[in-house]
Every structure is written in C-alpha cells, then in structure tokens.
Structure 1
Amino acid sequence: MRLRQTRIDRTPLRVALALAAGLLSVPALAQVTPVATISVSGEAQVSAPPDLAEIDAGVSTEAKTAREASEANNAAMGRVLLALKGAGIEEKDFQTSRLSLQPQYAPNRAGPNAVVGYRAANRVTIKLRDVTKVASTIDLLVAAGANELGGINFMVSSASKLLDDAREQAIADARRKAEIYAKAAGVTLGPPVSISEEGAPGPAPFRKMAAGMAASAPVAQGEETLQVTVSVVWAIKPAGQ
C-alpha cells in the first residue's frame, strides 16, 4: 500500500516570520497636521413684549389645632378659586403649587418649645393669557382672601422662535469678529470647525411684591430680552489659498 502525501502550504508562516524579523515593512500611518484655528464668541439679543404672565398667590391661616387651621385654609382657598373661575380664568390655567401645615411654637420660652398653634398655607400659580389683566387679577385675589403674593413672571410664548433668530444673529456676529482677526493676521478664514452655545437662556425671575401693596398696584409689563452667546472655532489658512 502506498501512502498519499499531503502538501502543506507554508507561505503564511513565512510571511509572519518575515514580519517578525523586520524583513517586510508596513507603510506608516500618515501624519495628521493640526488645523490652524481662530476661536471667537458671538452674541445677539432680541426683545419682545410679553404675552403671558404667571402670578404666584396663596392663603395662610393660623388656628389652635391642625384641623382648625387646615379647614379654615381650605375654605379660604375655595373662595379664591371660585373668584378665579368667576373672572373667566379656565381651570387649566391655575394650579396648586404648594401645601403646608406647620406647628407654631411660643417664642422666647425657656425649656422645650411648646406648640401654641398651627399654620396652614396653600399656594396657587395662575397663568394669564392676557397680560393686561394682571393688575385686575391681583385685586381679585386680594379681595377673595389671598394674603400671600409671591410675585409675577412675564413670559413670551414664542421664545423658541425668537431664540432661533438670535442664534442666527450670534453666528453672524462670530463670523464678523473672526474675519476681522483673520484679516489682521494675514490669513484666510475657512469653514467652522465647531460651534457651541454657551449656557441655556433661563426663565425670567419672579418680580417680587409685598401682599400689602398688591391692591390697585400699577403693573408695568415692559419687554422681555432673550440673549444667546455662541462659541465658534474657525479654520484658517494662509492668505490666497
């Protein structure tokens, strides 16, 4: 019987040995040249009269027992809510924002503090879609029994569109600055390498007012100003390229 010989291809092994011995070379990775850049910031702001307002108001009551304080507070807030409904404000536009019931302690008494009563509080946030009704709504709240007013927040319903306009203006401002730098440095401005918005515009703070000054107090709505700042990195190249 004749044994059949099998031929083994050792080419891959020879290649691997040659690579290990340094006989074959692999092309080196291309060197990456850093891109020259100019980094600038652009700013823009837009103003618009507010078309929405929020009023923070509430009722606080005190009594000897927690139950009495709570019941008195519920009745007082019920009158406030009825007054809001009677003024034509839809239920979807006012919402309870905080409820609390806390013990009251005798002041300046030695030893363990003794509970002398309870204080209940109920606050509501009212959204007004007609900013001309802010002053009359405050008068209404006070007349209905609200004895706490946190403040007023004026807003612009189309803030997103206004901010988009400001963003376009901020990019244009950044390009203007970058072109000035490029010209002064004797280089040509290339495309933007990165764009980032610095911070997010937040809501306007509440305008605080004292409850005692609420009735018939004049309210000036003014304008809301929205500002955008962007940071842009521009590529630059030698002039003429």
Structure 2
Amino acid sequence: MRGLILAGLAIALPLPPAVAQSPQPAAMMDGTILDVVAEGTTSRVPDLATIRTGVVTQSATASAALADNAARMARVLAALSRAGVAARDVTTTAATLSPQYRYADNQPPVITGYQATNTVSVRFRTISASGPILDALVAQGANQIEGPILSLADPDAALDDARTDAVKRARARATLYARAAGLSVVRILSISESGDQAVSPGPVLYARAKEAADTTIMPGESAVTARLSVRFLLK
C-alpha cells in the first residue's frame, strides 16, 4: 500500500521547468527533430542615392564668413531645385561657425578668422541623375561632397524574397538529410530569423564619358540576405 501511495505522489509532482516551458518537447515528439540554418539571397539594383554636400567658407570676420556661406549655399539649393530634387529630399545636417587660430610657442592662440560650414543631405530617387547634379553643385559653389550611399526604396520586398529563398534552401537541405537517413520530411515545426538580415550595396563606380563632362554613377547590384533557423520533423 505504501508503494502505491508513493507512486501516486510521484505522478502528481510538477514537470521540470525545462519541460513545462516547451510546448512540444523533442523527447516526446513522434519522429526525429532536425534543425537547419539556411541563408537566402536575392539581388536588386539600388534605386536611391544619398549624398552629403555643402559649402565651407572662411573670412576675417564671423559675419563675412556667414554671409559668403549663405550666398553660396543659396546657389547650391537653387541648383538642386532646378534639377528636380524635391524639398522633402533635402535635409540640413550641419550648420557651424568656428574661429580659426594661429599657434606659436609660448604664446596664447590668436584668432585669424572664422570658418562657416553648411551641409545638407540630398536623396536622389533617380540615381542616373545624381552624377550630373554633383557637377552642377560644384559649379554653383559646393566644395564639400560625401557619398553617394546607395540603398533600396523598398528593402522589405527584397528581404521577403530572400526569406522565401532561405526557406526553400532549408527544406532542400532537410530533404537531403532525411533521404540519407532513410526518412522523409513531415513538416516544419518552427521558423526563426537570426536577426542579421542585410542589404549590402555593391561598389559604387564613377566614370566620366569621353564626349561629355558629366560624372556618371554606376550603382551595380546590391546583395540582399536573410538567415533563418528552421526546425523540421522527420519520420
């Protein structure tokens, strides 16, 4: 009788935490569990380009440096507007005024003038137009240009294609393992992303045509990748 009571108590004890937290423990699954990590890829031609451009001016006085900078920057912004760049695609990123010093041994620094800087971020929705616009900006007084940074207008759609490719690759690999083990794939138990999905732009190439003075930007293709962990049930 005592043995029966002890057996009943053992059945009434709660499951260990690790088992209780798992909705479908591998040990209780009717089949073989296979975990596969797969990376899917696709490619896209970038359709957005972003550059930083601006004007740096120097003068003996702060007011003169600012006035010269404002006049040149107005011409730069006007050139962007004439080129069809929308106001929503132009954002001021920096506007600074700083003194310039002359240093000498054992003497305090002396202010020799002032430097004014005004920088904007410009987004081009037609990459082919960005090269000629860069040339126009320089002609209008821009003496600071960084970029371009190429990107996709709709990265989610490209990532979805890469995710689809990753699932196909995972299933193909699972089928390979199952056949080698004399089993077959029953179904997918879970899918999780590793969190390192990425859009990797290719190299940006600059070229200058022989018959023209316009700078040409060649975006190439961007690789889009998605990494998934997929759990399969084999029987």
- Going from structure 1 to structure 2, the CA distance change for 1:116 and 1:203 (only over 3 Å counts) comes to farther
Deviation at 1:224, TM superposition (A): 2.2
Name the CA distance, whole Å, in 2 between partners of 1:94 and 1:206.
24
Aligned to 1:200: 197
Cα separation, 2, equivalents of 1:206 and 1:57:
20
Aligned to 1:3: none
Specify the code of the residue in structure 2 equivalent to 1:225. A
The CA distance in 2 between the partners of 1:108 and 1:202, in whole Å, is 50
Assess, with a 3 A threshold, how the Cα gap between structure 1 residues 188 and 100 changes in structure 2: closer, same or farther.
same
1:137 to 102, 109, 133: 133
| Match of residue 41, structure 2, among 33, 42, 45 | 45
Unmatched tracts of structure 2, length 5 or more: 20-24, 207-212
Shift of 1:117: 2.4
Q: Is the 8 A contact 1:151 1:208 kept in 2?
A: no
One-letter code of the match for 2:177? Y
Q: 2:192, 2:175 → 1: CA distance?
A: 19
Please give the residue correspondences for 1:1-241 in structure 2 after superposition, counting only pairs within 5 Å.
25-26=8-9, 27-28=11-12, 33=27, 35=29, 36-107=32-103, 109-198=105-194, 199-202=196-199, 204=201, 216-237=214-235
User: Is the 2:42–2:225 Cα contact (8 Å) retained in structure 1?
Assistant: yes
CA distance in 2, matches of 1:121, 1:208: 28
Find the residue that maps to 1:183 and give its secondary structure. Answer: helix
Structure 1's unaligned 5+ residue stretches are 1-21, 210-214
Q: CA deviation at 1:104?
A: 2.2
Give aligned-pair identity as a percent: 34
Q: Which has the larger radius of gyration?
A: 1
The answer to whether the 8 Å contact 2:203/2:219 transfers is no
CA spacing shift, 1:41–1:79, aligned 2, 3 Å: same
Question: For the structure 1 residues 228 and 88, does the alpha-carbon distance in structure 2 shift closer, same or farther, using more than 3 Å as the test?
Answer: same
| Rounded Cα–Cα distance in structure 1 between residues aligned with 2:28 and 2:107 | 73
By how many angstroms is 1:80 displaced?
A: 0.6
With normalisation by structure 2, the TM-score equals 0.76
Name the residue aligned to 2:210: none
Is the contact made by 1:151 and 1:207 (CA closer than 8 Å) also made in structure 2? no
* Structure 1 residues 208 and 220: alpha-carbon distance in aligned structure 2, compared to 1, 3 A threshold: closer
Count of residue correspondences: 211
Q: Flag the structure with higher strand content.
A: 2
Q: What is the root-mean-square deviation of aligned Cα atoms in Å?
A: 2.9
